[in-house]
A and B are shown apart, each in its own frame.
Chain A
Amino acid sequence: MGAPRADLLAVHVASLQHVAAPGAAFTAAQRLRIASVACDAYLTMDPSPPWVRPFGEAALDVAYRLGRHAGTITQQWYEQIITEGMHPLEWVEVVGIVVATVPVVAFARAAGLPLPVLPPPAPGAPHGRVADELAPATLNWVPVAAPPDTTASVVQALSAVPDEWDNLWQLAAAQYMSDAQMVDPLWNRGTLSRPQMELAAGRISRIRECFF
């Protein structure tokens, strides 16, 4: 087994370190627990059904469902969780933590590498850093950085919590391609052609039943 690209390895290490640092609303220890639940959900051979909330704790239940049954999450369920008391920006942070962790595990499993170990928690309190101005969106359930709906819904999705947004797009640039590279339809890494990349991307999206 050869070593992954250095840039890919570095961004995966950085992503797990990001998870292990205090976030906007959660401590590092809380974030690591959320990440651990999502990883376990992704890897388990015996998952709970989508409608079961295995933990009775909103952040962990959201992480579990997103880790394993993401395509079953509905707006109704989102609103139920928010009505129960989870702040919408906490929901966004949970999504950010899950998507900071699951692809690192998914890559290692796919490539036949040892599964990553989560780092120890960094000290400190949640930093509370969110977008300067928030707005409801028509293209997402979650609030986004103002002005809303001026970019694609997946682009604005985590914009309310800038640290999660930054980590997401650093991962995307190394795993797939950056925005600048996407503009050039001929750009590739010299391995997969663009149609081959789209075939792989489209097939896994179909398997996950993600309509977007």
Chain B
Amino acid sequence: MLSWSSTEAGATADLAAIAEGAGDGGLPFGAELVAFADAVGGLDDEVLVFARERLRAAAGEAFLIDAAAVLANFEMMTRVADGTGARFPAETAAHRAALDDRLDIGRFTSAR
């Protein structure tokens, strides 16, 4: 879901923040959001508690809830894509090449 989520809505997030988890993507609460995503994607509950409280303190309760919902959605959509062998039409490959390189997608097992 990586490149699709970054381009489909026409609102491209900063790629360094997505690819390396570095910086804030040039967005308000961006660093807190990235840390929260990393914690949700990890297994350390203490790290998750810390990241959650950091995001809540910075952006508020409603923001935290909606951020958790977006992350849950992409825990879902990544599994839809990976579980059904979803791929892009060949004609979109040229548009994706630079993005794929920047995000180091080619090494993923799911790249097919």
Chain A residues with CB under 8 Å of chain B are 1-2, 4-5, 8, 42, 45, 62, 66-67, 70-75, 78, 91-92, 94-95, 98-99, 102-104, 106-107, 109-112, 139-142, 149, 152-154, 157-158, 168, 171-172, 174-176, 182, 185, 189-212
Contacts and interface: CB of A to CB of B under 8 A. Distances in A.
A99 B103 CA distance: 25
B79 A99 contact: yes
A192 B66 contact: yes
Contacts of A142: 84-85
Contacts of A152: 4
A42 B3 CA distance: 23
Contacts of B1: 154, 201, 205, 208, 210, 212
Interface string B74-112: 111111111111111100000000001001010011111
Given A71-B108, A203-B34, A212-B1, A168 B63 contact: no
A35 to B, nearest CB: 13
B110 A195 contact: no
A102 B76 contact: yes
Contacts of B19: 206
Interface residues of B, number: 73
Contacts, number: 276
Contacts of A70: 78-79, 82-83, 110
A111 B65 contact: yes
B29 to A, nearest CB: 7
Contacts of B43: 45
- For B1, B86, B88, the residue with the greatest tally of chain A CB atoms inside 10 Å of its CB is B86
B47 interface: no
B58 to A, nearest CB: 12
Contact of B103 (A42, A72, A78, A206): A206
A198 B13 contact: yes
A1 to B, nearest CB: 8
B18 A209 contact: no
A159 B84 CA distance: 11
Contacts of A45: 43
B85 A98 contact: no
